[in-house]
């Protein structure tokens, strides 16, 4: 058996108990797992600081000093024992009231260490003195740090009672030359349970050193020689050795680049290979014509399409003409004109004798799509219908017949579209709005409704801006189109952040807007009172709004939240959309899919509780009409610096992609809107989608170049790549798969 596959328990200093702990806490089971578990940062231990020059603002310091006083404290800071030098330079040990001259200071035999609460060790380096404090390992450190001995101490300096100290510093004898002393030292991810189990940072360094000594020689290359040479990468053995114990900063940089590139390269290679295979194997419906209805709709638009909309339509048309199935993700900020692009794409399908469907996640959004699309289709001869859970039996019967005989060209609906009775004469295009709200099984049932077993073209739309690096990975085998331009005439939403003291002024402003005939959203982050937080809750907020805007004065207020039935939600939303209520008090259920052009004010209560992308989505509910619109972020008294940074950014920019990039930098890719339900479908050991965007693009470019020359990786020089891709770690749940 190879050393790489050896269980971690057989490594010196581990054993069964620690092995179980490492497996449970970090997923480390073999020596191979261990050497591929990387530090997340490094401490520079190449130099020594003089105590006189220490500043508590430093992240860490390393000093070399001689022990000049050792004090053992019991309960209430009573002194159990103290060793120090007297005026004549003699070692003096005080044990209670007993003094011994000339002693070694070893009084451990007469001490009850279970009564000890703290150990204080004063060290002197000739420039000054510093205290080292220990609350754990007291007996061992008391016996080790004997008076007069010299050690190297490393840790975070703090100031207490006018003197600098370090709590639980790392301690090394000056002559010791192990991997955890000197130069750049790795700091590994850890947990409280690991620390309590004795697996400290120093122990991890020792384990990594032992593992590398045993099995580094067995590590074989994962990248072909021609790629390593062309890209100027170091060998895998060099990278693994120097990622754990870098000889210098240059070696660390080379090792980091190699390991990050490899990780991102294989991720992209896996995704792009799926795309290459599918694009060649998956027959698609050919749609060479545009058709008269497309031209009729396009020529009657009261405005010109933006350059971004025109570019995206050309990309979609090229896909639909290619003879291969289109699988395209369309990203566009709220209000960027995605619906218009979807309508024109549907008309291309109709112009070629096919039908199209647009599937929305909610009935409200489906109704809005239908209303807007019906206006766009007025100059054409295309019949459009809507099918939702609320459709009557008679309506369903007529719609089913119209879809089967082909008289209905475009159908808008909810998940009702994927029900078995729904059959199309020739479904050529499926548009899926807010795709992350639909499960894969739901989408696949729609996909299977194509003519004669040939899948329809698929256009996936999202108004949630996704950072470029995340889109390239989550949707790596889809073609991605971005509408990065807003239609002319759309007015910016003025965003402001206020505290509780400005609430009366905010209510006055809301009344002024309502008096001018406009409407207001008020959004809360939760439904019921939570003992853990002091945020405003929906119920209390609703009562407050009713008190401030009484029915007797003509104000009508609707309320919507997740615990209502669909019927209640739809009724209240419809009342607000139709103008029968001036204020909609809601939770984030209105984040996607409520289009009320008359609404000019969005109030977000406890705004610091929301993520950036969510705040941006909510703000997108206003600014859809001709009137000037406002977003008011109401923050709680206790707002952290990070939360304030989010609120400030919201006030500074309306660019959803800038906001999404910053959101990923602050929260990490796994927490972004639309992915947090299930996390990312892959694990990155060393690379970061938030920080390594350029390297990801380079890796994708190299992967694409490799596959252009060898789509199936069957050439001899790519045998290593093919073998590596067959490993389990590159088989992950694919977000982009519509089937």
| pLDDT at site 68 | 92
- pLDDT at residue 136 tops 50: yes
| pLDDT over 90 percentage in the chain | 39
Q: Please write the tens of the pLDDT for every residue from 284-338.
A: 889 999 989 999 999 998 888 989 999 999 999 999 998 888 888 888 877 788 8
What phi and psi values does residue 522 have, to the nearest 5 degrees?
-130, 115
Q: Are residues 547 and 575 in the same domain?
A: yes
The answer to whether residues 425 and 404 touch, using CB atoms and an 8 Å cutoff, is yes
Distance, CA of 665 to CA of 687 (rounded, Å):
13
Query: Does any domain span residue 583?
Result: yes
Same domain, yes or no, for 139 and 157? yes
Given a contact cutoff of 8 angstroms between Cβ atoms, the answer to whether 467 and 438 are in contact is no
Q: Is residue 451 part of a domain?
A: yes
Say how far apart CA 42 and CA 660 lie, in whole Å.
29
Same domain flag for 301 and 441? yes
- Residue 14, both tokens: 């581990």
Task: Tell me the CATH number at 601.
Answer: 3.40.50.300
pLDDT surpassing 70 at residue 444: no
Do 351 and 313 lie in one domain? The reply is: yes
132 has a pLDDT exceeding 70: yes
Q: Kindly state whether residue 347 falls inside one of the protein's structural domains.
A: yes
Closest CA to 303 of 331, 278, 340: 340
pLDDT of residue 266: 92
Distance, in Å, from the CA atom of 91 to the CA atom of 70, rounded to the nearest integer, reads: 11
Identify the domain containing residue 636 by its residue range.
493-653
The two structure tokens encoding residue 385:
């219908």
Regarding whether 523 and 407 lie in a shared domain, the answer is no
* pLDDT band per the 50, 70, 90 thresholds, residue 175: low
Residues 548 and 614 in one domain: yes
Predicted TM-score (pTM) of the model is: 0.62
CATH classification of the domain holding 131: 2.40.50.140
Q: Is residue 275 part of a domain?
A: no
6 plus 53 within the same structural domain: no
Task: Tokens for 709, please give them.
Answer: 């020359």
Beta-carbon count within 10 A of 521 CB: 23
Rounded mean pLDDT of 492-521? 93
- List, as one string, the DSSP characters of 372-422: HHHHHTTTS---EEEE-TT--HHHHHHHHHHHHHT---EEEESGGGGSTT-
Residue 402 lies in a domain: yes
Residues 400 and 524 in one domain: no
As a whole number, mean pLDDT of residues 342-363 equals 92
* Confidence band for 215, pLDDT divided at 50, 70 and 90: very high
Torsion of the alpha carbons at 593, 599, 600 and 604, rounded to the nearest 10: -60
- Residue 36: give its domain's CATH number: 1.10.150
pLDDT in tens, 389-421: 888 889 999 999 999 999 999 999 988 888 878
Q: Are 153 and 122 in contact (CB under 8 A)?
A: no
CA–CA separation, 622 and 370 (whole Å): 20
Distances (CA, A) of 282 to 190, 255, 411, 475: 46, 40, 25, 18
- 105: pLDDT strictly greater than 70: no
Mean pLDDT of 368-384: 91
Q: What is the pLDDT of residue 676?
A: 34
pLDDT by residue (tens digit) across 665-694?
A: 666 554 443 333 334 556 778 887 767 878
Q: Is residue 661 within 8 Å of 467, Cβ to Cβ?
A: yes
Taking residues 229-239, what's their average pLDDT? 96
Q: Are residues 573 and 597 in the same domain?
A: yes
Task: Give mean pLDDT, residues 84-104.
Answer: 67
Answer whether residue 276 is part of any domain. Answer: no
pLDDT bin (cut points 50, 70, 90) of residue 282 is low
pLDDT at 586: 87
The residue that leads in pLDDT, 31 or 176, is: 31
Q: Residues 589, 527: contact at Cβ < 8 Å?
A: no
Instruction: Enumerate the β-bridge partners of residue 187.
Output: 41
231: helix, strand or coil: helix
Shared domain for 23 and 117, answered yes or no, is: no
36 plus 113 within the same structural domain? no
- DSSP for 469-495, written as a single string: HHHHHHTTTSEEEEE-SPPTTPPPEEE
Residues 534 and 425 in one domain: no
Q: Who wins on pLDDT, 581 or 728?
A: 581
* Chain mean pLDDT for the chain: 83
Say how far apart CA 608 and CA 604 lie, in whole Å.
9
Query: Is the pLDDT score of 98 beyond 50?
Result: no
List the structure tokens of 652: 């500074």
Question: Is 691 a domain residue?
Answer: no
Count how many domains the chain has: 4
Residue 520 lies in a domain: yes
């Amino acid at each position: 058996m190879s050393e790489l596959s050896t269980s971690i328990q057989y490594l010196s200093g581990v054993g069964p108990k620690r092995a179980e702990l490492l497996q449970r806490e970090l997923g480390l089971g073999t020596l191979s797992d261990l050497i591929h578990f990387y530090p997340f940062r490094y401490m520079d231990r190449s130099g020594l600081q003089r105590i006189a020059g220490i500043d508590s603002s430093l992240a860490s310091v390393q000093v070399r000093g001689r022990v000049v006083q050792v004090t053992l404290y019991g309960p209430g800071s009573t002194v159990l024992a103290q060793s120090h030098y007297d005026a004549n330079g003699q070692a003096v040990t005080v044990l209670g009231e007993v003094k011994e001259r000339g002693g070694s200071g070893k009084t451990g035999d007469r001490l009850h260490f279970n009564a000890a609460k703290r150990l204080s060790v004063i060290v002197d380096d000739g420039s000054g003195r510093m205290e080292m404090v220990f609350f754990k390992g007291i007996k061992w450190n008391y016996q080790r740090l004997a008076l007069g001995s010299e050690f190297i101490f490393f840790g975070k300096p703090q100031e207490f009672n006018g003197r600098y100290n370090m709590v639980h510093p790392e301690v090394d004898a000056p002559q010791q030359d192990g991997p955890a002393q000197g130069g750049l030292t790795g700091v590994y991810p850890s947990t409280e349970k690991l620390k309590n189990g004795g697996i400290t940072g120093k122990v991890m360094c020792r384990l990594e050193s032992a593992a590398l000594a045993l099995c580094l020689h067995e590590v074989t290359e994962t990248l072909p020689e021609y790629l390593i040479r062309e890209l100027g990468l170091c060998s895998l053995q060099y990278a693994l050795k120097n990622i754990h114990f870098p000889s210098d900063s240059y070696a660390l940089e080379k090792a980091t680049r190699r390991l990050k590139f490899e990780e991102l390269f294989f991720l992209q290679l896996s995704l792009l290979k799926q795309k290459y295979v599918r694009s060649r194997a998956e027959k698609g419906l050919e749609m060479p014509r545009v058709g008269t209805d497309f031209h009729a709709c396009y020529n009657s638009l009261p405005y010109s399409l933006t350059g971004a909309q025109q570019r995206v339509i050309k990309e979609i048309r090229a896909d639909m003409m290619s003879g291969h199935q289109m699988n395209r993700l369309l990203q566009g900020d709220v209000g960027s004109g995605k619906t218009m692009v979807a309508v024109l794409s549907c008309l291309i399908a109709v112009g070629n004798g096919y039908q199209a469907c647009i599937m929305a996640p909610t009935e409200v959004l489906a109704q809005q799509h239908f209303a807007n699309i019906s206006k766009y289709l007025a100059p054409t001869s295309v019949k459009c219908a809507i099918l939702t859970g609320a459709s009557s039996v008679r309506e369903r019967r007529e719609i089913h017949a119209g879809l089967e005989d082909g008289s209905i060209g475009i159908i808008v609906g909810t998940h009702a579209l994927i029900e078995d009775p729904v059959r199309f004469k020739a479904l050529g295009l499926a548009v899926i709005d807010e795709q992350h709200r639909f499960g894969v099984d739901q989408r696949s049932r729609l996909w299977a409704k194509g003519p004669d077993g040939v899948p329809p073209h698929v256009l996936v739309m999202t108004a949630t801006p996704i950072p470029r690096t995340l889109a390239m990975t989550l949707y790596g085998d889809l073609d991605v189109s971005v509408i990065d331009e807003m239609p002319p005439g759309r007015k910016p939403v003025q965003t402001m952040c206020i505290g509780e003291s400005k609430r009366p002024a905010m209510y006055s402003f809301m009344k002024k807007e309502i008096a001018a005939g406009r409407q207001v959203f008020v959004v809360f982050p939760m439904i019921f009172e939570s003992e853990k937080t002091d945020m405003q809750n929906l119920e209390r907020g609703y009562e407050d709004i009713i008190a401030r805007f009484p029915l007797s004065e003509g104000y009508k207020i609707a309320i919507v939240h997740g615990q209502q039935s669909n019927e209640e939600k739809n009724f209240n939303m419809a009342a607000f959309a139709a103008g029968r209520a001036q204020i909609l008090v809601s939770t984030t259920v209105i984040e996607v899919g409520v289009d009320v052009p008359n609404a000019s004010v969005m109030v977000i209560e406890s705004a610091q509780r929301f993520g950036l992308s969510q705040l941006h989505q909510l703000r997108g509910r206003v600014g859809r009409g001709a009137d000037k619109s406002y977003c008011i972020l109401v923050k709680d008294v206790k707002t952290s610096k990070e939360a304030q940074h989010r609120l400030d950014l919201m006030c500074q920019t309306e660019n959803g992609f800038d906001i999404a990039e910053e959101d990923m930098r602050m929260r990490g890719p796994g927490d972004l809107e639309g992915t947090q339900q299930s996390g990312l479908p892959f694990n990155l050991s060393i690379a970061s989608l938030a920080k390594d965007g350029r390297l990801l693009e380079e890796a994708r470019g190299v992967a694409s170049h490799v596959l252009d020359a060898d789509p199936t990786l069957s050439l001899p020089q790519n045998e290593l790549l093919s073998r590596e891709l067959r490993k389990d770690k590159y088989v992950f749940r694919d977000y982009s798969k519509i089937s």
